[in-house]
Amino acid sequence: MDMLIGGKHISSDDLEDVINPYNGEVIDTIPIAHLQTANLAIGEANNAKESLVEMSAFKVSNKLFNVVEKLKDNREDFAEQLTLEIGKPINESLVEVDRSIETLKLAAEEAKRIYGESVPLDAGLNGKGFFAFTQRLPLGVVAAITPFNYPLNLTIHKIAPAIACKNTVIVKPPTEAPLTVMKFCELLNEEFPDGVVNTITGYGSEVGDYLVCSPDIDKVSFTGSVTTGLMISQKAGMKKVTLELGGNDPMIVLKDADIDKAVKGVINGAFLNAGQVCMGVKRIIVEDEIADEFAEKLVGETEKLVMGNPLDVKTTLGTLISEKAAIHVEQTVNNAVQKGAEILTGGVREGAFYQATVIDNVTPDMDLVVRETFGPVAPIIRVNGVEEAIEIANDTDYGLQAGVFTNDYSLAMKCAQEIEAGTVFVNKQSTFRTDNMPFGGFKNSGVGKEGIKYAVDDMTRMKLIGLNLR
Ligand code: NAD
């Protein structure tokens, strides 16, 4: 599939295969762009700024709603494309497309709410006699750089608010899974003037880096790993940056919790998308008194998962993004076992599949829970009491989301207030998000918030206009 730049389809002399991780078949090829093409995209996106600024908010909103309808009409095709390039079970891909439709709708609504406010300058010294108000203006060109695991919805979380507040966009999709996003950008291009949305494929370290460093890009909106995020924050210079990075989310299960509910939370939280979720449950911190019962029930539910062809509706556990990624998870689990952890179920890799794995007696110093493990693994860390649970929950460089299971509301509030994370849910796993909520982590999990309204705030600049009436 070709790139879309300034409304034209552009290829490259260098091509790369996009591989279906389930069967190793080539689904399509993409161009590997170099700096000259990145420059072309930057030029086209800048040239198109005026066409969008001149469009009324009414029209922008209606056009986004038109794209909503187009995506709805192609729901099944988009879901199948996602499953082919990521190995995600088809039912999960359908959920991603449904969420993408909702995200886009939220942006279409938000396009009509880009408000300023009047500011009483007379509340400050010598400010009497003015009429002053603010306006929220577009930044210009937004570079959207996105990861493989939820390629469609996470990219729409950037493109849609950017256009809603009249920025043009250059999308750099993940090299492993670029096709669904590229297809979606074609739908946008049918509605908006050429150059409003552009795609560029290639290596992050080359074209991604070039966009980040370019003075003709006004904002970088990045979702991906902490390593890349840190590099971007050091190179971006004087432009706005939003970083939605990795997570190592804890789930605390206290002794009075509804154990069945917590187990259900882990099944969704640790195994959704084969554990490749930024806000996945990555550390299960359980009070010792209930840990045996919890582990037994978790093993029972885990063994009900069905690993198989991701296009089969009965499949509940698909592949990882590649065999290389699965080997990495296998090695990390094996390393924990060598240090004393015990696999209760799973622990076997077959190509790009890794079985849903429950691993007990994990200690906080094991690599499995020190770093973000991006695979279907549920590590249990046993603790004595809420204080130790909170201490371990916070003993990480990450702080995306967290979940606490208890029926004692004072303990719930204690955890909610003391856990260092962008979101803390009570009686719900961290792996939950609605597309309108402010989403974004503390510590190394990121800078800035998404969730359409919050993304729009970060994709506009505020101007104050003051009329001296004296
Ligand atoms: P990644 O950092 O390897 O790649 C993300 C994107 O950055 C890709 O498009 C890649 O090509 C590009 N890139 C790579 N090097 C670059 C560079 N030097 N300059 C500019 N761009 C560059 O991440 P990934 O493996 O695709 O995704 C998995 C990670 O993303 C996990 O850590 C996961 O937790 C995180 N993630 C976070 C969120 C969130 O909202 N917080 C959501 C999903 C995934």
- State the number of CA atoms in the 13 A half-sphere of 236 facing the CB: 21
Q: 62 falls in which pLDDT band (50, 70, 90)?
A: very high
- Mutation to probe ligand 1, out of 32, 88, 149, 454 (largest number of atoms < 8 A from CB): 149
- Mutation to probe ligand 1, out of 30, 200, 276, 278 (largest number of atoms < 8 A from CB): 278
Q: pLDDT tens, 437-448?
A: 999 999 999 999
- 302-327 average pLDDT score: 98
Ligand 1 in contact with 372 (CB < 6 A)? yes
| 232 contacts: CB under 8 Å, gap ≥ 6 | 145, 212, 220, 222, 241, 243
Helices 386-394 and 409-418: angle between axes, nearest 10 degrees = 30
Query: Using an 8 Å Cβ cutoff, are 201 and 211 in contact?
Result: no
Q: pLDDT tens, 217-248?
A: 999 999 999 999 999 999 999 999 999 999 99
Q: Any idea which fold 3-245+445-468 has?
A: Aldehyde Dehydrogenase; Chain A, domain 1 (3.40.605)
Q: pLDDT tens, 296-311?
A: 999 999 999 999 999 9
Single out the residue of 145, 87, 93, 91 nearest to residue 321, CA to CA: 87
Q: 112 falls in which pLDDT band (50, 70, 90)?
A: very high
What CA–CA distances, in Å, run from 256 to 36, 117, 329?
A: 61, 48, 32
Q: What are phi and psi of 430, to 5 degrees?
A: -65, -25
User: Which one is catalytic: 85, 96, 244, 330?
Assistant: 244
- In this structure, is the dihedral angle defined by the CA atoms of residues 259, 260, 262 and 266, taken in order, positive or negative? positive
- Mutation to probe ligand 1, out of 225, 227, 273 (largest number of atoms < 8 A from CB): 225
pLDDT at 453 (0 to 100): 97
Ligand 1 in contact with 398 (CB < 6 A)? no
pLDDT at 399 (0 to 100): 98
Q: Is 244 a catalytic residue?
A: yes
What CA–CA distances, in Å, run from 269 to 181, 188, 278?
A: 25, 32, 10
d(CA 168, CA 172): 13
Q: pLDDT tens, 266-298?
A: 999 999 999 999 999 999 999 999 999 999 999
Distance 281 CA to ligand 1 centre (A): 19
- Mutation to probe ligand 1, out of 86, 145, 222, 239 (largest number of atoms < 8 A from CB): 145
- Atom number of ligand 1 nearest to Cα 226: 32
Distance 243 CA to ligand 1 centre (A): 10
Q: 102 falls in which pLDDT band (50, 70, 90)?
A: very high
Distance 246 CA to ligand 1 centre (A): 8
Name the DSSP class of 439: B
Ligand 1 in contact with 208 (CB < 6 A)? yes
Distance 259 CA to ligand 1 centre (A): 34
pLDDT at 124 (0 to 100): 97
Distance 157 CA to ligand 1 centre (A): 15
Ligand 1 in contact with 217 (CB < 6 A)? no
Residues in a beta bridge with 130: 468
pLDDT at 452 (0 to 100): 98
- Residue bearing tokens 């996945």: 280
d(CA 284, CA 210): 40
CA 344, 349, 354: angle at the middle one, nearest 5? 75
Ligand 1 in contact with 330 (CB < 6 A)? no
Single out the residue of 304, 244, 302 nearest to residue 277, CA to CA: 244
Distance 59 CA to ligand 1 centre (A): 33
Distance 170 CA to ligand 1 centre (A): 16
- Atom number of ligand 1 nearest to Cα 175: 11
Distance 187 CA to ligand 1 centre (A): 24
Torsion angle of C-alpha atoms 448, 451, 456, 458, degrees rounded to 10:
0
Ligand 1 in contact with 81 (CB < 6 A)? no
Alpha helices in 165-276 (DSSP H): 179-191, 209-213, 226-235, 259-271
What is the total residue count of the chain? 470
Ligand 1 in contact with 246 (CB < 6 A)? yes
Ligand 1 in contact with 422 (CB < 6 A)? no
3-245+445-468 and 249-434 share one fold:
no
Single out the residue of 225, 91, 240, 60 nearest to residue 146, CA to CA: 225
- Residue identifier of the C-alpha nearest atom 14 of ligand 1: 204
Average model confidence (pLDDT) across the chain: 98
pLDDT at 151 (0 to 100): 98
Query: Element (H or E) spanning 93, and its range?
Result: helix 90-110
Q: Any idea which fold 249-434 has?
A: Aldehyde Dehydrogenase; Chain A, domain 2 (3.40.309)
Which sequence spans correspond to the domains of the chain? 3-245+445-468, 249-434
- 156-162 average pLDDT score: 98
Maximal CA-CA distance, the chain:
79
Q: Is 185 a catalytic residue?
A: no
Ligand 1 in contact with 245 (CB < 6 A)? yes
Tokens of 439: 């989403």
pLDDT at 45 (0 to 100): 99
